Amino acid sequence: MSPYVQDNPKKRILLSDPAYVQQQLTHLQSELQTLQATVLSQTSQLQSHQDTIHKQNEEMQTMKATVQSQTNEISSLKHQLIQAENVFNKAGSTFVRWGRTDCPVNVTELVYSGYAGGSWYNHQGAAAGHLCLPSDPEWLNTTVVPDDDTGRIYGAEYQGNMGHTMFGSTRDEDVPCAVCRPTFFASSLMIPARKTCYSGWTKAYSGTLVSGDYDHPAATEYVCMDENDEPIVGGADRNDNGLLFYGVKAFCGSLRCPPYKQDAFIACVVCMK
């Protein structure tokens, strides 16, 4: 009896047929190789997917770190902005710059400029305070009565011994002034006997400490005259008197010497913080 062939399904299969067995083995080996190739391909794809996921996780962690850093930076900027707003809101502790019509640039703004004024140097009932009078006064609706019982206010002059003053302007010239507002500072302070500010403070201007003459009846106050003082433009260059500014000297005794020196003129500086 001849062997059965595979292409005849009606024929009986003889398991003892070596050709048939070899044919089946070859077929199974081919399917196994195909399966192995498929598994290898899927394993490679899985590894590729895992690598992609790992890379994406790393990128996500980097993005999270970047977002956290930017969040911290935004929080810091908000804090700085709040501080800046607080400083700006507090800024405005005004001071008078005596002897000038302008204010220090970049750190202050001009509120107004005008004329230094105060009491007559020889009046016993004089007011002690000095004023910076604006150049555009507004008047009360009152009746002017000559020689009434009133207080009085006069302009101011640079003074000193004949032919000599402590100032850049000459003797008897009228004194201007400017009211200044710090734009980035909350406080201002006039420090006598200094030309520079202490640590942490910013200099607005420096100059000469001035007051009235010690032998005149009128009370005065100490103010800081700018080292680059100037006269009022168009002011009277004559001896009209009024409030008089003199340089201030140190006198030893109750004032400790040293560090102070007898007859030395006192400097001054206006500082902001």
Render pLDDT for 80-94 as a digit per residue (tens, 0 to 9): 776 666 555 555 589
- How are the residues of the chain apportioned to helix, strand and coil, as percentages rounded to the nearest 5? 25, 25, 50
CA distance linking residue 105 with residue 264, whole number of Å: 31
Banded pLDDT at 173 (limits 50, 70, 90):
confident
Residues 6+ away with beta carbon under 8 Å from 178: 96, 97, 100, 101, 102, 103, 110, 111, 112, 113, 114, 132
Greatest Cα-to-Cα distance within the chain, rounded to the nearest angstrom: 161
* Predicted TM-score (pTM) of this structure: 0.63
- pLDDT, residue 91, reads 56
User: Whole-number mean pLDDT of the chain?
Assistant: 83
pLDDT of residue 1: 44
Predicted local distance difference test score (pLDDT) of residue 5 = 47
Size (the chain), residues: 273
Give residue 110's pLDDT.
95
Structural domain boundaries in the chain? 16-90, 91-136+150-273
- Measured between alpha carbons, how far is 198 from 44 in angstroms, rounded to an integer? 73
Query: Residue 89 has which token pair?
Result: 């809101």
- Confidence band, pLDDT 50/70/90 cuts, at residue 103: very high
The 10s digit of each residue's pLDDT in 197-230 is 999 999 999 999 999 898 898 889 999 999 998 9
Residue 2 has pLDDT above 70, yes or no: no
Residue with more model confidence, 88 or 234: 234
User: Range with the lowest mean pLDDT among 138-147, 181-190, 242-251?
Assistant: 138-147
Going by pLDDT thresholds of 50, 70 and 90, the confidence category of residue 15 is low
User: What does the pLDDT read at residue 194?
Assistant: 95
Q: What is the pLDDT of residue 92?
A: 59
pLDDT surpassing 60 at residue 273: yes
Q: What is the pLDDT of residue 134?
A: 93
**8 A C-beta contact, residue 187 and residue 92:** no
Q: What is the pLDDT of residues 132-147, one digit of tens each?
A: 999 998 888 887 777 7
More confident residue, 4 or 158: 158
pLDDT at position 3, please? 47
Angstrom distance (rounded) from CA 190 to CA 52: 69
